[in-house]
Amino acid sequence: MLSALLVMAALAIVLGAVLGFAAIKFHVEGNPLVDKIDAILPQTQCGQCSFPGCKPYATAIAAGEADINRCPPGGVEGIQKLADLLGVDFKPFGGDTAAPKPKSVAIIDESTCIGCTLCIQACPVDAIVGAAKQMHTIIAAECTGCELCVAPCPVDCISMQVIEEKISNWKWKYPVYSLVTAQ
Amino acid sequence: MTEYMLILISAVFVNNVVMVKILGLCPFMGVSKKLEAAIGMGAATTFVLTLGSGSSYLINKYLLGPDLSYLTTLSFIVVIAGIVQFTEMVVQKTSPPLYQILGIYLPLITTNCAVLGVPLLNVQLKHNFMESLIFGFGNALGFTMVMVLFAGMRERMEGADVPAIFKGSAIAMVTAGLMSLSFMGFSGLIK
């Protein structure tokens, strides 16, 4: 009886020491997976995924709290990359989640703008220039088309304009394969 | 040397731990949806099983002896749990995506019956230290091989035109059964 207790105690002590040593030696700072997911996300900080930005969304994916199909700017390609990284099945944009829209740019109707600066505060990429009581305008090249500036405008002078495909901005499309979702 | 080769081949093919002894089916069905995950699981199990076989032999021989043989199952499980915990830490540090893919199945290696079954079989078959190690490694190799083969088939099955009622787990079960049947073909290899 006593020898059995001693044997089990000795086993427990040795294993405990090994695991304690390993816990210090292989200590992981934070979650490195978050950075890998964050690198795939497009960094538009648009909030269409219902998270405040790309990093919080990446954190939520890593914690298993969010689906991978909530990032419209990343597109189908982004979902595919996330699925590959995380080893989960591809998931198309669902009905309740935001879906990608055609590329568009915000336009401020400059004659209606009252210079309230609310849209400047909303813009995540600082694509709006202007000052209080001065007319604002949008730097089209910087605008990611995230629509965050549309809601705060008190006079509704911001509209989204779809960027038409012209010879000057046309480029080769990525090859598109129709993806089958697993049952 | 021949004896070691015999143990190895017997463990990998003839008495394959999953297909013939029907042990360790949980990860076999659970982690075989993706090839990378299956390879990772096979590698983790190989590490645990080989180390577990060796250390449980030493414990059985030098710590327990004949008087305390009633402690075999208990002490083996404790050692295996310790090794699995250690493996989990190493995987989390070295490969976060693999850690994410394996998920709950990584700590569940502890309850993989193959991992406890092989050390107990070692005791039953009265293997010495070297034989125990090779037997453990061979079984793990067989496990990995079957996992990889099965994952490859399941990946192809995703694109196959399976009748609606067989979709998903059902066709996977049928495939596993057919695979097991085909492994019976090895039984004439060693007499």
Quote the percentage of chain B above a pLDDT of 90.
31
Rounded CA-CA distance B179/B176 in Å is 5
Nearest CA to B107 out of B140, B78, B83, B85 is that of: B85
* Chain B closest-CA separation from residue A96 CA (Å): 25
Residue of B nearest to A181 (CA): B158
Which residue from A3, A15, A28 is facing B79, i.e. has the nearest CB?
A15
Q: Which of A19, A29, A68, A91 is most worth mutating to test chain B (most B CB atoms within 10 A of its CB)?
A: A19
**pLDDT bucket at A165, cuts 50 / 70 / 90:** confident
Over residues B106-132, the mean pLDDT reads 89
Instruction: Give the pLDDT confidence score for residue A178 in this predicted structure.
Output: 62
* Chain A closest-CA separation from residue B142 CA (Å): 24
Interface predicted TM-score (ipTM) of this complex, two decimals: 0.70
Distances in whole angstroms, Cα of residue B36 to Cα of each of A79, A84, B135: 18, 10, 25
* One domain, residues A20 and A92: yes
Q: How far apart are the first and last CA of chain B?
A: 18
Chain segment A42-86, per-residue pLDDT in tens: 887 777 788 888 888 888 888 888 888 888 878 888 888 888 888
In a domain, A1, yes or no: no
* One domain, residues A149 and A80: no
- Contact (Cβ atoms closer than 8 angstroms) between residue A124 and residue A44: yes
Instruction: Give the pLDDT confidence score for residue B146 in this predicted structure.
Output: 94
* One domain, residues A47 and A60: yes
**pLDDT bucket at B135, cuts 50 / 70 / 90:** very high
The domain that contains A157 carries what CATH number?
3.30.70.20
pLDDT at A154 over 60: yes
Residue of A nearest to B80 (CA): A15
In a domain, A159, yes or no: yes
* Chain A closest-CA separation from residue B9 CA (Å): 32
Residue A111 structural domain: 102-167
In a domain, A173, yes or no: no
